[in-house]
Structure formats: structure tokens, C-alpha cells
Amino acid sequence: MRELIKKLTEISSPSGNEDDIRNFIKKEIKNHCDSIETDAMGNLIARINGKKNGKTVLFDAHMDEIGVMVNHIDQNGFLRFTAIGGFFPFHALVHRIRFQNGVIGVIGEEKRDSSTKVSPLDKLYIDIGAKSKKEAEKMVGIGDMGTYAAETIVTKDRIIAKSLDDRIGCYIMIKAMKTIKNPKNTVYFVFASQEEVGVRGARPAAYRIDPDCAVALDVTGTGDTPESNKMEVKLDGGAAIKVKDSGMITNRKIRDELVDVAKKHKIKYQFEILEHGTTDAFGIQITAGGIPTGAISIPSRYIHSPSEMVSVSDVEACTDLVVAFANEYDV
């Protein structure tokens, strides 16, 4: 577990620049599926063939991550930037950014108007150690993208890393692909692009496949930290079966089937109602005339930060649920 998660999370692949993570995943799964391809949106789509009378089941996890894009270099070599996805200033200050060519910088800020207020993005800059614009331009260029640079830590009970949103979903699908053998159903695994900038990749992939049902895998927030928003989801509570979020209400039959499978296999689970945020399930559900769609969420603390945290036991529960559902879905 440790080495695969470390490799998945430490790769820098922000939305629209998924080449590095896609190439890594492709090598990891190529011997565990019957077909594999990359579509026009950059989605990696793998298929495991089932029996002739089986259903078609689609699992989705997005492989992109939040990041930054350089939009200005000043005369002193400091970089100004715009956000790629939900890159929040209150998580960012003095953290390191790794650009895809390997250059690393530190996020700094202009003088604050108030020590109690968070500086907005237009008051932040990235210091790559350059002494002038000319020197900086030899290191990075306008339009270059970067992501948080952070070490991944895996302990007995916890995983702490940048980009667990949603590389942990990718990990679960990879593990499931390595486990599933001769399934009843034909199973597609979509490692989707550009989720963080508007659920863009999953929609055309789902339209093309047009499955009998779909299940998206992504992280969700928790209500188990001091003075957190009231929410039933917690670390170590098991796989979070989504009921609704701000983008969708899950298909009741798919939700009930996930619960039935979890009970049958004694897989620990909990229910998720997410007030803010959505996942690829939202885009898939309203594609191709409508697809019965559910979601399995991985409880996570500190989402969209350099130190997202999930539970090892929850990840294992989610993996077990994916494998069991893939084999047994028959609604």
C-alpha cells in the first residue's frame, strides 16, 4: 500500500496536464484489464470483460489535482499566479510549489492590511529564488502549472498527502482491478481528467460507454474534528455511501444496492450528505439520457490542502465494496 500511494500522490498532474499521472497508472494496470485506451479528453479508460448476460458497470475516479498557473513574472523574478481548481489562500501561505519541470518555489505574500485576515490570491506570489525576470523566465514560463510539493506519510492507521483528492480513489480502483477475476459484469474503470475545473472528463467518457450503472469514487469531508461542520461522516467509520451533495441526489436503487452489498460482505459503511461540493457522479448522472449513478466517498480531513488525511481502514473498506459491487450488481 505505502509505495503505490506514495507514487500516486507525489506525482504532479494538475487539471488539463494529467500526462504524468496517466502514464504511471497505465503502466500499473496494463496487465490487469482486457483493454485500455486514452480518449480525446485525456481520460484513461480500462475494461475488464464480463459474461455475455452481465451488466455494464462503470467506476470513476479523477486523476487530476488542484494547482496553480503562472500568469505574470515581475522584474524581480517573483511569479504571480492563478488557481487551477479549488486552490485556497488559507491553505497556501509559505507552502512549496513544484512545477512540472521540477522547479520548486515558496508561496509568499505582500504586506497584509490586517494580521487577522487571509490574503487573497492576488496578494500572493511564488518565490523560485530568481533574482530577476530574465533569470525566472529561464526556469518557468507563462502558463506553466505547479502543484503542492509535499511528502506522503503512511502510518498504520492514517495516510497524509497532497492530492489524496482523488489519487486515493485511483488507488482503490487500481487495487480493485488487481483483485477482480472473471467478473459476471463487464467493468469499466475511468481515471478521469479535469474534475477539479468543472467535472469535464467524466461526462464524455460516460456518454461513450453508456453503462447500466456508474459509481464515482472521491473524497468527502468529515464532521469529526473540533468545532467542525455538523456531519455524520468520520474517519474509521467505513466507506461513505453518498445520499446527496450540492450537485446530485444519488440513484436510490444504486444506493440501496451498495448498502446491501456492504451488509452481505460485512463491510463497514456510513452515509454521506455533503452540503458543499460534488463529484464526477454529478456529471455522469445527467449524461447520455441519464445514467443510474451512485458514489462511494473516502472520508478525508483537510481537503485541498498539502496535508489531506484519510483512514487506512476506510480505504480498505472502499476497495472491498468496489470489488463486491462490480461482481454482484444486478439491478
**Tens-place pLDDT, residues 60-101:** 999 999 999 999 999 999 999 999 999 999 999 999 999 999
Cβ contacts of residue 68 below 8 Å, gap of 6+?
A: 14, 81, 82, 83, 84, 87, 97, 126, 145, 146, 147
Q: Domain check: are 107 and 38 in the same one?
A: no
List the grid coordinates of 288: 447520455
Of 107, 117, 111, 100, nearest to 81 by C-alpha is 107
* 88 and 206 together in one domain: no
Instruction: Please say if the pLDDT value at position 239 is more than 80.
Output: yes
Residue 295's CB is within 10 A of a number of other CB atoms, namely: 32
Q: Which of 173, 188, 191 is nearest to 20 (CA)?
A: 191
Catalytic residue among 10, 110, 137, 195: 195
Pick from 91, 120, 148: which residue ends a domain? 148
Active site residue 10: no
Are 58 and 81 in a shared domain?
no
213 and 173 both lie in a single domain? yes
Whole-angstrom distance, CA of residue 257 vs CA of residue 47: 22
- What is the structure's pLDDT at 229? 85
At 200, is the secondary structure helix, strand, or coil? coil
What distance in Å separates the CA atoms of residue 60 and residue 205, rounded to the nearest whole number?
A: 10
Residue 153 lies in a domain: no
What's the average model confidence in pLDDT over 25-30?
Answer: 97
Name the one residue in this structure whose C-alpha cell is 529561464: 138
Same domain, 248 and 129: no
- Residue 155 domain-assigned? no
Let me know if residue 154 belongs to a domain: no
Q: How many CB atoms lie within 10 A of CB 289?
A: 7
219 and 142 within one domain: no
Are 40 and 188 in the same domain?
yes
Q: What is the pTM of this model?
A: 0.95
Find the CATH number of the domain harbouring 78: 2.40.30.40
pLDDT in tens, 55-67: 999 999 999 999 9
Reduced to 3 states, what is the DSSP secondary structure of residue 89? helix
The SS3 assignment for 214 reads strand
What are the beta bridge partners of residue 148? 97
CA–CA separation, 166 and 199 (whole Å): 13
d(CA 74, CA 52): 62
Residue 156 lies in a domain: no
CA–CA distance, 163 with 195 (Å, rounded to integer)? 13
> How many other C-beta atoms can be found within 10 angstroms of the C-beta atom of residue 40?
9
Asked if residue 166 has a cis previous peptide bond (ω within 30° of 0), the answer is yes
Cell numbers that stand for 136 in this block: 525566472
Same domain, 246 and 141: no
Is 29 part of any domain? yes
Of 148, 182, 214, the residue at which a domain comes to its end is: 148
In a domain, 157, yes or no: no
Q: Is 98 a domain residue?
A: yes
Per-residue b/e over 238-262, b at no fewer than 16 CB within 10 Å?
bbbbbbbbebbebbeebbebbbebb
- Within 8 A by CB and 6+ apart from 290, the residues are none
Number of domains in the chain: 2
First to last CA, the chain: 33
97 and 7 in one domain?
no
User: Domain containing 141: what range?
Assistant: 67-148
Residue 47 falls inside a structural domain? yes
pLDDT reported for residue 9: 97
Among residues 122, 148, 174, which one ends one of the domains?
148
Comparing 40-44, 118-122, 144-148, 269-273, the range with the smallest average pLDDT is 118-122
Taking only the tens place, the pLDDT of each residue in 141-194 is: 999 999 999 999 999 999 999 999 999 999 999 999 999 988 999 999 999 999
- pLDDT over 70 percentage in the chain: 100
| 213 and 248 housed in the same domain | yes
DSSP secondary structure string, 90-153?
HHHTT-EEEETTS-EEEEEEPPPS-TTSPPPGGGEEEE-S-SSHHHHHTT--TT-EEEE----E
Is the pLDDT score of 115 beyond 90? no
What is the helix, strand, coil percentage profile of the chain, to 5? Answer: 30, 30, 45
Instruction: Specify whether 169 is located in the same domain as 208.
Output: yes
Q: Residues 121, 198: one domain?
A: no
